[in-house]
Chain A
Amino acid sequence: MNSQLTGQYIPGTSIMHRMDARAKFSGFLLLIAAVILTGTIKGYLLTISFILIIAALSKLPPEIATGSVRRMLPFFFVVFLLNVLFFESETPLWQWGIVTISIDGIAQGANILLRIVLILILSNVLTLTTPPMALMAAIESLMSPLRFIGVPVGDVSMILSVAVQFIPTLLRETDDIRTAQTARGAQFESGKLLDRAKALPPLLTPIFLSAFKRADELAVAMEARGYRGGKHRTKKASQPMPVSGWLALLLCAALCALQIFLF
Chain B
Amino acid sequence: MSFEIKSLSYVYQRGTPLETPALENVSFSIGDGEFVGIMGHTGCGKSTLLHLMAGLLPAPAGTVLIDGEDINRKGYDRSVLRRKLGVLFQFPESQLFESTVEKDVAFGLKHSGLSTKDIEQRVQWAIETVGLDYSRVKGQSPLGLSGGEKRRAAIAGVLAVQPRHLILDEPTVGLDPMGREALLELLVKLNRDGMTILMVSHDADSLGEAARRLLVLHQGHLAADGPIGQVFADMDAMADWGLGVSQSREAAGLLARKGLEVPQDITSYRQLLPAVLTALKGGGSP
Residues of A whose CB lies within 8 Å of any CB of B are 1, 3-4, 10-12, 61, 63-64, 173, 176-177, 179-187, 201-202, 205-206, 209-210
Contact = CB atoms under 8 A, between A and B. Distances in A.
Contacts of B92: 180
B179 interface: no
B97 A202 contact: yes
B168 to A, nearest CB: 11
A173 B94 CA distance: 10
A1 B143 CA distance: 25
B79 interface: yes
Interface in B70-106: 79, 82-83, 85-87, 89, 92, 94-97
Interface in B26-75: 48, 51, 54, 56-57
A186 B108 CA distance: 7
20 contacts: A3-B57, A11-B17, A12-B17, A61-B16, A64-B15, A176-B89, A176-B94, A180-B87, A180-B92, A180-B94, A183-B85, A183-B86, A185-B79, A185-B110, A185-B161, A187-B79, A187-B111, A202-B97, A206-B95, A210-B94
B257 interface: no
Nearest to A213: B94
Contacts of A210: 94
B51 A179 contact: yes
Given A182-B56, A184-B82, A185-B82, A177 B111 contact: no
B155 to A, nearest CB: 12
Nearest to B82: A185
A177 B108 contact: no
Contacts of A183: 54, 56, 82, 85-87, 89
B117 interface: no
Contacts of A185: 79, 82-83, 107-108, 110-111, 161
Contact of B16 (A10, A187, A209): A10
